[in-house]
Structure 1
Amino acid sequence: MFTGEQIASLLTDVGVTHVVTVPDSTLGTWYAAIERTSKLTLVRVCREGEAWGVAGGLYLGGATPLVMIQCTGLFESGDALRNVLHDWKLPVFALIGYRSYLDQSTLPGDTCLVFTEPVLDAWRIDYRLVTEPSQLDAIRAHYLACREARRPGAAVIAEGKA
């Protein structure tokens, strides 16, 4: 939906310093552009739960990190998310890929469509669903609003176009 250059430019413009991520076939297409941007540091972790802790530590150290994971990683990382966002009350923002949202035929029976938004609601994450390329500015606006309010948030980016 978005090019790596668009995402790198957006993240640089809003002041993100570190992108903490797990290798992913869809979001991973943005890595090269992020790495070419001198103002962004790409931090690859092994598991999504680790991403929240690393981002929390970066924030406490004065950085402005962002977590970038797929929705399946959101499911895996719940306890770490709870600690960082709710117990520590750190305003970490996330870009979350919404697997199969645009084309369910790529993974018939994929339950990501059943659970992603209810899980975000259960964790009380203020998120915006992004389903079209024209919504790039909506990500920017939501990120800046969350940062201004010093609260966590997410942009959930539809994936799966065949």
Structure 2
Amino acid sequence: MRTSGARSHNHGGIAYTMFFTGPEIASALAELGVTHVIWIPDSALGPWESTLEGTPAFRLVRICREGEAWPLAAGLYLGGASPVVIMQVTGLFESGDALRNALFDLRLPLFGIIGARNWLARDADDSARRFTLPVIRAWGIPHVLIAAEADKPKLAEHYRRCRRSAQPGLALIGEGGP
């Protein structure tokens, strides 16, 4: 399924649909005052990397495992920075214990941009797609879903709302495959 205004790219012979280009996401993050992007790319988000790396407004910090993202973001936040975590939803699942500790035990208002795997592929038999919203709702994390071109402003709106209320938040970016 290709949504109007969305862009596709191929990786390993698979077409992925994304709503933000690298320059668009980098510009949005810079305008929001993000200082660090904690990053572990997936096949759909990967094309953003060179733009994120070359954006002087923030520092791109690559991690090896998703569970490293939330403690790193927590330390940066406690040190006065404004980090954002970017990963795919399967990585969010993998990092759940670290996320729980940072967001709920330490009560830190961290923000993540999460690639919602196969969200745009309505017929995909993908357990990650099936569990995305139930898991995020069970954690009680305020979130928005960007699943159409018209939803793009939700990213900045939700980020600002979370900052104003000092609460954590997630922006789920619909991804699509065959």
TM-score class, shorter: over 0.9
Residue 3 of structure 1 pairs with residue 21 of structure 2: yes
Which runs of structure 2 are paired with 1:1-80 in the superposition (5 Å)?
A: 1-80=19-98
- For 1:133 and 1:19, how far apart are their aligned partners in 2? 23
Match of 2:10 in 1: none
Runs in 1 of length 4+ with deviation above 6 angstroms?
none
- For 2:129 and 2:42, how far apart are their aligned partners in 1? 18
The letter of the residue matching 2:55 is: T
The letter of the residue matching 2:22 is: G
Counterpart contact for 2:112–2:170, Cα < 8 Å: yes
Stretch of structure 1 that moved more, 132-141 or 120-129: 132-141
What runs of 5+ residues in structure 2 fail to find an aligned partner? 1-18
- For 1:71 and 1:23, how far apart are their aligned partners in 2? 11
Counterpart contact for 2:111–2:170, Cα < 8 Å: yes
Counterpart contact for 2:41–2:88, Cα < 8 Å: no
Shift of 1:161: 4.5
- For 1:9 and 1:27, how far apart are their aligned partners in 2? 15
Q: TM-score, normalised by structure 1?
A: 0.94
Residue 114 of structure 1 pairs with residue 130 of structure 2: yes
Instruction: Find 1:125's aligned residue among 137, 141, 151.
Output: 141
Instruction: Find 2:174's aligned residue among 130, 134, 158.
Output: 158
What runs of 5+ residues in structure 1 fail to find an aligned partner? none
Q: Name the SS of the counterpart of 2:134 in structure 1.
A: helix
Greater share of helix residues, 1 or 2? 1
Match of 1:146 in 2: 162
- For 1:104 and 1:134, how far apart are their aligned partners in 2? 19
Stretch of structure 1 that moved more, 26-35 or 66-75: 26-35
Higher relative contact order (CA 8 A, sep 6+): 2
Q: CA RMSD in A?
A: 1.2
Q: TM-score, normalised by structure 2?
A: 0.86
The letter of the residue matching 1:2 is: F
> Number of paired residues?
160
